[in-house]
Protein backbone atom coordinates (compact mmCIF):
# COMPACT_ATOMS: atom_id res chain seq x y z
CA UNK A 1 0.00 0.00 0.00
CA UNK A 2 0.94 3.63 0.05
CA UNK A 3 2.93 4.08 3.23
CA UNK A 4 4.40 7.54 3.77
CA UNK A 5 5.73 6.67 7.22
CA UNK A 6 7.85 9.65 8.07
CA UNK A 7 5.70 12.77 8.36
CA UNK A 8 2.31 13.79 9.67
CA UNK A 9 -0.48 15.29 7.60
CA UNK A 10 0.64 18.85 6.89
CA UNK A 11 -2.84 20.29 7.50
CA UNK A 12 -3.28 18.98 11.06
CA UNK A 13 -2.98 21.34 14.05
CA UNK A 14 -0.09 20.33 16.34
CA UNK A 15 -2.28 18.81 19.06
CA UNK A 16 -4.14 16.62 16.55
CA UNK A 17 -0.89 15.63 14.83
CA UNK A 18 0.63 14.56 18.15
CA UNK A 19 -2.47 12.55 19.10
CA UNK A 20 -2.48 10.83 15.71
CA UNK A 21 1.23 10.01 16.01
CA UNK A 22 0.63 8.22 19.30
CA UNK A 23 -2.34 6.30 17.90
CA UNK A 24 -0.40 5.50 14.73
CA UNK A 25 2.37 3.81 16.69
CA UNK A 26 -0.19 1.74 18.59
CA UNK A 27 -2.03 0.79 15.39
CA UNK A 28 1.14 -0.26 13.56
CA UNK A 29 2.01 -2.55 16.48
CA UNK A 30 -1.53 -3.95 16.51
CA UNK A 31 -1.47 -4.58 12.76
CA UNK A 32 1.81 -6.46 12.95
CA UNK A 33 0.60 -8.58 15.88
CA UNK A 34 -2.83 -9.52 14.47
CA UNK A 35 -3.99 -13.07 13.84
CA UNK A 36 -3.67 -13.24 10.05
CA UNK A 37 -6.03 -16.18 9.86
CA UNK A 38 -8.85 -13.64 10.10
CA UNK A 39 -7.69 -11.66 7.04
CA UNK A 40 -9.65 -13.94 4.70
CA UNK A 41 -12.88 -12.77 6.34
CA UNK A 42 -12.11 -9.18 5.37
CA UNK A 43 -11.57 -10.25 1.75
CA UNK A 44 -14.81 -12.24 1.70
CA UNK A 45 -16.78 -9.27 3.04
CA UNK A 46 -15.16 -6.95 0.50
CA UNK A 47 -16.09 -9.33 -2.31
CA UNK A 48 -19.70 -9.49 -1.19
CA UNK A 49 -19.95 -5.71 -0.90
CA UNK A 50 -18.27 -5.05 -4.24
CA UNK A 51 -20.47 -7.60 -5.99
CA UNK A 52 -23.55 -5.64 -4.92
CA UNK A 53 -22.31 -2.04 -5.04
CA UNK A 54 -20.58 -2.08 -8.41
CA UNK A 55 -23.92 -2.58 -10.16
CA UNK A 56 -25.08 0.81 -8.90
CA UNK A 57 -22.15 2.95 -10.07
CA UNK A 58 -23.64 5.60 -12.41
CA UNK A 59 -22.85 4.80 -16.03
CA UNK A 60 -20.44 2.01 -15.11
CA UNK A 61 -22.31 -1.29 -15.33
CA UNK A 62 -20.31 -4.47 -14.99
CA UNK A 63 -19.76 -6.64 -18.05
CA UNK A 64 -18.57 -9.75 -16.22
CA UNK A 65 -20.51 -12.26 -14.11
CA UNK A 66 -20.15 -10.23 -10.93
CA UNK A 67 -20.01 -12.34 -7.81
CA UNK A 68 -20.31 -15.61 -9.75
CA UNK A 69 -17.15 -16.95 -8.19
CA UNK A 70 -14.83 -16.07 -5.37
CA UNK A 71 -11.30 -17.38 -4.87
CA UNK A 72 -12.75 -20.50 -3.23
CA UNK A 73 -15.37 -21.04 -5.95
CA UNK A 74 -18.31 -19.90 -3.84
CA UNK A 75 -21.08 -17.75 -5.26
CA UNK A 76 -20.99 -14.31 -3.70
CA UNK A 77 -23.82 -12.66 -5.59
CA UNK A 78 -26.57 -14.00 -7.82
CA UNK A 79 -25.52 -13.00 -11.37
CA UNK A 80 -29.15 -13.21 -12.51
CA UNK A 81 -29.85 -10.02 -10.54
CA UNK A 82 -27.15 -8.03 -12.33
CA UNK A 83 -28.15 -5.07 -14.43
CA UNK A 84 -27.45 -5.59 -18.12
CA UNK A 85 -24.43 -3.59 -19.32
CA UNK A 86 -25.19 -0.54 -21.38
CA UNK A 87 -23.91 -0.53 -24.93
CA UNK A 88 -21.61 2.40 -24.15
CA UNK A 89 -20.70 1.20 -20.67
CA UNK A 90 -17.32 -0.10 -19.60
CA UNK A 91 -16.29 -2.44 -16.81
CA UNK A 92 -15.92 -0.69 -13.46
CA UNK A 93 -12.42 0.33 -12.44
CA UNK A 94 -11.56 -0.60 -8.86
CA UNK A 95 -8.51 0.85 -7.12
CA UNK A 96 -6.99 -1.78 -4.84
CA UNK A 97 -3.70 -1.90 -2.92
CA UNK A 98 -0.56 -3.99 -3.35
CA UNK A 99 0.44 -4.74 0.25
CA UNK A 100 3.58 -4.27 2.26
CA UNK A 101 4.66 -7.43 4.14
CA UNK A 102 2.81 -6.62 7.38
CA UNK A 103 -0.43 -5.50 5.72
CA UNK A 104 -3.64 -7.24 4.72
CA UNK A 105 -3.05 -8.86 1.32
CA UNK A 106 -5.58 -7.88 -1.35
CA UNK A 107 -3.83 -9.91 -4.07
CA UNK A 108 -6.59 -12.59 -4.13
CA UNK A 109 -9.19 -9.83 -4.47
CA UNK A 110 -7.26 -8.29 -7.39
CA UNK A 111 -7.29 -11.63 -9.20
CA UNK A 112 -10.99 -12.15 -8.43
CA UNK A 113 -11.88 -8.70 -9.79
CA UNK A 114 -9.85 -9.36 -12.93
CA UNK A 115 -11.68 -12.65 -13.50
CA UNK A 116 -15.01 -10.84 -13.22
CA UNK A 117 -14.02 -8.43 -15.99
CA UNK A 118 -13.27 -5.41 -13.81
CA UNK A 119 -10.38 -3.06 -14.47
CA UNK A 120 -8.04 -3.35 -11.49
CA UNK A 121 -5.96 -0.30 -10.58
CA UNK A 122 -3.10 0.11 -8.12
CA UNK A 123 -1.73 3.36 -6.68
CA UNK A 124 1.42 5.03 -7.91
CA UNK A 125 2.59 7.34 -5.14
CA UNK A 126 3.67 10.80 -6.39
CA UNK A 127 5.87 13.28 -4.53
CA UNK A 128 4.43 14.52 -1.25
CA UNK A 129 1.61 17.03 -1.48
CA UNK A 130 -0.07 15.40 -4.49
CA UNK A 131 -2.99 12.97 -4.81
CA UNK A 132 -2.41 9.38 -5.81
CA UNK A 133 -2.21 8.26 -9.43
CA UNK A 134 -3.79 4.91 -10.32
CA UNK A 135 -2.37 2.56 -12.94
CA UNK A 136 -3.96 -0.49 -14.50
CA UNK A 137 -2.88 -3.86 -13.15
CA UNK A 138 -3.14 -7.20 -14.93
CA UNK A 139 -1.98 -10.59 -13.62
CA UNK A 140 0.80 -10.68 -16.23
CA UNK A 141 1.93 -7.06 -15.94
CA UNK A 142 5.38 -5.90 -14.88
CA UNK A 143 5.62 -4.49 -11.35
CA UNK A 144 8.07 -1.65 -10.82
CA UNK A 145 9.58 -0.23 -7.63
CA UNK A 146 7.66 2.78 -6.31
CA UNK A 147 8.00 5.16 -3.39
CA UNK A 148 7.87 3.90 0.20
CA UNK A 149 8.81 0.32 -0.77
CA UNK A 150 5.65 -0.12 -2.84
CA UNK A 151 5.28 -1.95 -6.16
CA UNK A 152 3.59 -0.21 -9.09
CA UNK A 153 2.20 -1.78 -12.29
CA UNK A 154 3.50 -0.54 -15.62
CA UNK A 155 -0.03 -0.06 -17.00
CA UNK A 156 -1.69 3.18 -18.12
CA UNK A 157 -3.05 5.79 -15.72
CA UNK A 158 -6.82 5.52 -15.27
CA UNK A 159 -9.58 7.07 -13.16
CA UNK A 160 -11.20 4.69 -10.64
CA UNK A 161 -14.92 4.23 -10.06
CA UNK A 162 -14.31 2.74 -6.63
CA UNK A 163 -11.36 3.18 -4.25
CA UNK A 164 -10.57 0.60 -1.58
CA UNK A 165 -8.91 2.50 1.25
CA UNK A 166 -6.53 0.71 3.64
CA UNK A 167 -6.99 1.71 7.26
CA UNK A 168 -4.25 1.72 9.84
CA UNK A 169 -6.96 2.68 12.33
CA UNK A 170 -10.66 3.57 12.29
CA UNK A 171 -13.53 4.48 14.58
CA UNK A 172 -17.31 4.09 14.48
CA UNK A 173 -17.84 7.56 13.08
CA UNK A 174 -16.16 6.64 9.78
CA UNK A 175 -12.89 8.39 10.60
CA UNK A 176 -9.70 6.74 9.37
CA UNK A 177 -6.06 6.82 10.33
CA UNK A 178 -3.37 6.32 7.71
CA UNK A 179 0.40 6.48 7.76
CA UNK A 180 0.42 10.26 7.93
CA UNK A 181 1.23 11.51 4.45
CA UNK A 182 -2.32 12.60 3.59
CA UNK A 183 -2.30 10.82 0.22
CA UNK A 184 -5.73 9.23 0.48
CA UNK A 185 -7.26 12.38 1.96
CA UNK A 186 -6.04 14.43 -1.01
CA UNK A 187 -7.11 11.72 -3.44
CA UNK A 188 -10.63 11.33 -2.06
CA UNK A 189 -11.10 15.11 -1.85
CA UNK A 190 -10.18 15.37 -5.54
CA UNK A 191 -12.66 12.59 -6.45
CA UNK A 192 -15.84 13.44 -4.52
CA UNK A 193 -18.11 11.33 -6.74
CA UNK A 194 -15.96 8.20 -6.70
CA UNK A 195 -17.07 5.35 -4.43
CA UNK A 196 -14.86 4.55 -1.47
CA UNK A 197 -14.76 1.63 0.97
CA UNK A 198 -12.36 1.37 3.88
CA UNK A 199 -11.05 -1.96 5.10
CA UNK A 200 -9.07 -3.20 8.09
CA UNK A 201 -8.85 -6.04 10.58
CA UNK A 202 -11.21 -5.43 13.50
CA UNK A 203 -8.15 -5.16 15.77
CA UNK A 204 -7.50 -1.72 14.25
CA UNK A 205 -10.62 -0.11 15.73
CA UNK A 206 -10.01 2.70 18.23
CA UNK A 207 -12.54 4.40 20.48
CA UNK A 208 -12.29 7.78 18.76
CA UNK A 209 -9.95 9.27 16.18
CA UNK A 210 -9.09 12.97 16.15
CA UNK A 211 -10.25 14.52 12.87
CA UNK A 212 -8.19 17.20 11.19
CA UNK A 213 -9.53 19.82 8.76
CA UNK A 214 -8.53 17.82 5.67
CA UNK A 215 -9.47 14.33 6.84
CA UNK A 216 -11.92 12.48 4.59
CA UNK A 217 -14.36 10.23 6.51
CA UNK A 218 -15.58 7.05 4.87
CA UNK A 219 -19.19 5.98 4.23
CA UNK A 220 -18.37 2.30 4.71
CA UNK A 221 -15.72 0.25 6.54
CA UNK A 222 -15.29 -3.52 6.18
CA UNK A 223 -13.65 -5.67 8.86
CA UNK A 224 -13.40 -9.38 9.59
CA UNK A 225 -16.34 -9.06 12.01
CA UNK A 226 -18.76 -6.61 10.39
CA UNK A 227 -19.45 -4.04 7.71
CA UNK A 228 -20.01 -0.56 9.13
CA UNK A 229 -22.03 1.97 7.13
CA UNK A 230 -22.37 5.63 8.05
CA UNK A 231 -24.72 8.43 6.98
Q: Is 179 annotated as a binding residue?
A: yes
User: Which secondary-structure segment (H or E) carries 120?
Assistant: strand 119-124
Report how far residue 64's alpha carbon sits from residue 159's, in angstroms, rounded to the nearest whole number: 19
Residue 229: strand pairing partners:
220
Residue 157: strand pairing partners:
135
Q: Is 11 annotated as a binding residue?
A: no
Residues in the chain: 231
User: Which secondary-structure segment (H or E) carries 51?
Assistant: helix 39-53
Q: Is residue 110 a contact partner of residue 155, using CB atoms and an 8 Å limit?
A: no
Backbone angles phi, psi at 228, to 5 degrees: -100, 130
Q: Is 183 annotated as a binding residue?
A: yes
Q: Is 113 annotated as a binding residue?
A: no
Helices vs. strands in the chain: H and E counts, helices first? 4, 11
Q: Is 184 annotated as a binding residue?
A: yes
Backbone angles phi, psi at 128, to 5 degrees: -55, 145
Q: Is 146 annotated as a binding residue?
A: no
Q: List, in order, residues 6 or more apart from 24 with CB less than 8 Å away.
A: 168, 169, 177, 179, 180
In this structure, the number of other CB atoms found within 10 A of the CB of residue 215 comes to 22
Q: Is 199 annotated as a binding residue?
A: no
Q: Is 181 annotated as a binding residue?
A: yes
Beta strands 143-145; 195-199: pairing state: unpaired
Annotated binding site, which residues? 103, 176-184
Annotated binding site for ATP, which residues? 176-184
Annotated binding site for substrate, which residues? 103
Amino acid sequence: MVAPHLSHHQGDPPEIAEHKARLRAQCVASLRARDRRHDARVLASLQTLLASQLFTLPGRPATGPWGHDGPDGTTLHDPSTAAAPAASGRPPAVACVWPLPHELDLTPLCHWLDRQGATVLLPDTPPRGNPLVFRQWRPDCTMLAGRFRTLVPDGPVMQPDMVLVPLLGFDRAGNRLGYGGGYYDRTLAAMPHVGRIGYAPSTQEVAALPAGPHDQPLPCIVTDKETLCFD
